[in-house]
Structure 1
């Protein structure tokens, strides 16, 4: 089983890569575009929060933040708010 530090680092890398891979599908200013922007903003905020917690040696809250951020982004992908590379292992589809 992975230790907490390794798992925290892995989830940070996964969220960072997922944010880089996902592109908004709907035009800005539309309801779907606004929803995508909110999902992306939440994911980025949780990434920043997780990094802050990790810098403070609070790995439990860091991991939780990375996980929540990833959940926001993955939910947006499942709802069709983001386009992601075909065959990507980063998302459930």
Structure 2
């Protein structure tokens, strides 16, 4: 089980980092939806940072949870249309 947990943690960290790099805020600056997108992006980035902290402490369970939650914020934003994202591939469920 520990090898599976490490592999999943690696995969979700990469997935979240790539999602943050790929997604672009769609609504124009100064609009309420732009603020929503910025909040989603900030939450996801915070979860990425938290997950990396947990990983450094050897806590893979909480690292995986953080990376998963962070990706959930990005995926929800993509589904709401506040991020421009690729529609093919493995990053988003749009």
Give TM-score, length-normalised by structure 2. 0.94
Matched residue of 2:90: which SS?
coil
Q: Which runs of 5+ in 2 are unaligned?
A: none
Look up the match of 2:39: 38
Query: What is the root-mean-square deviation of aligned Cα atoms in Å?
Result: 1.3
Look up the match of 2:5: 4
Find the aligned partners of 1:69 and 1:10 in 2 and give their Cα distance. Answer: 13
Look up the match of 2:73: 72
Give TM-score, length-normalised by structure 1. 0.95
Deviating above 6 A after TM superposition, structure 1's stretches of 4 or more consecutive aligned residues are: none
Give the paired residue count.
Answer: 93
